[in-house]
Amino acid sequence: MDELSVTGIECYAHHGVFEHERREGQRFVIDLTLGVDTRSAAASDDLQETVDYGSLVGKVKAAVESDPVDLIETLAVRVADVCLIDRRVEWARVTVHKPEAPIASAFADVALTIRRDARTTQ
């Protein structure tokens, strides 16, 4: 299985447990890696034979920036579900970064990575 990655998708959203996170919002960064068989696309050189990552990024960004949730765990599953809509995606590894998380100490990033398999989510 080949891997297609798109990293550093920047989104601004209002997720979080605290009221100020919901009110003010903050930056989230999404990394995607998808398990895709690219042989057919490589042979045909046809975008219709593969995952259109430009379109996918738009859908992921829209999913992140809608409907606030409390936890990045919930958000990560939402993003994975968007990725797995395309029948060519066998699995999705999603990392949600929350670099401005409300932590009372110096830190570089908070990140959660999940992997979901198309066979177990449908």
Amino acid letter for position 30: I
pLDDT value of position 120: 72
Residue 118 has pLDDT above 60, yes or no: yes
What b-and-e string marks burial along 18-48, b requiring 16 or more CB atoms within 10 Å of the CB? eeebeeebbebbbbbbbbbeeeebeeeeeee
pLDDT value of position 119: 81
pLDDT value of position 121: 54
CATH assignment at residue 89: 3.30.1130.10
The structural domain count of the chain equals: 1
Domain that holds residue 57: 2-121
Lookup: tokens for 44: 């045909």
C-alpha span between 52 and 9 (Å, rounded)? 15
Percent of the chain past pLDDT 70, that is, above it, reads 98
Mean pLDDT on 70-79 = 98
Catalytic site positions: 98
C-alpha span between 93 and 115 (Å, rounded)? 4
Beta partners for residue 5, in sequence order: 33
Mean pLDDT on 68-77 = 98
88: phi then psi, degrees, rounded to nearest 5: -80, -15
The per-residue pLDDT for range 2-40, each reduced to its tens digit, is: 999 999 999 999 999 999 999 999 999 999 999 999 999
Q: 122: pLDDT confidence band, cut at 50, 70 and 90? A: very low
Mean pLDDT on 59-83 = 98
